Amino acid sequence: MLKIKVELESISPIKFGKHFTTPMKDGEGHEAYDQRCWRERLHYDENEEVYIPAIALKNSLSAAAKYKGEKIKGKGNRTYTQKFEAGILIVDNIMLGVKKNDVNGETLHVPADGVRGGSKRVNRIFPYINSWKGTTYIHVIDPVLKQEPNKVKEYLELTGQLIGLMTFRPAKNGMFGRFKVNKFKIC
């Protein structure tokens, strides 16, 4: 296995939209509920430090491979998509060094069912962080990718430019969650 330490830094703000199930209080309306609980859309640990889940980066990296559709030389029509889907492991969340209660929120008028173009719209508050930086490790298991670590870097950079992370990201017709790769070090 090849282990690569990466440091990512924002080039656009990041928004969070995690599903949460905090119960409503008796007699509490939807807007009051959202006003009270909007920070529950964040991912945070037991110390209330906000993080980007490891699986979010893993899925975005796989989406970048699918987006590019690049064929592997000497392998016919096989692309790198399967190599990134099955041959990459990211287990460490990207800790952002920001506490849950220090995050700002933005009210947006969004579809009530979460589906773009929905007819019924409601106000919802989404937490966002204007600038962020964090480190994680990419574990490369696939033998083809182990021989081509620069291919992993290339696709990680593509992920930051065109796919993004979290809610309202470029891959979903948004503009948030873009990043650059500051460090890429094989351990």
Cα(137)–Cα(131) distance, integer angstroms: 21
Where in the sequence is the domain holding 155, given as residue range(s)? 2-186
Tell me the pLDDT tens digit for each residue of 86-120. Answer: 999 999 999 999 999 999 999 998 888 777 777 78
Q: Bridge partners of 167?
A: 15
Question: pLDDT tens digits, the chain, 187 residues: what are they?
Answer: 999 999 999 999 999 999 999 999 999 998 999 999 999 999 999 999 999 999 999 999 999 999 999 999 999 999 999 999 999 999 999 999 999 999 999 999 888 877 777 778 989 999 999 999 999 999 999 999 999 999 999 999 999 999 999 999 999 999 999 999 999 999 9
- Write down the pLDDT at residue 102: 98
Structure tokens given for 179? 């990043």
Q: How many domains does the chain have?
A: 1
What is the distance between the terminal CA atoms of the chain, rounded to a whole angstrom?
Answer: 11
Global confidence as pTM: 0.93
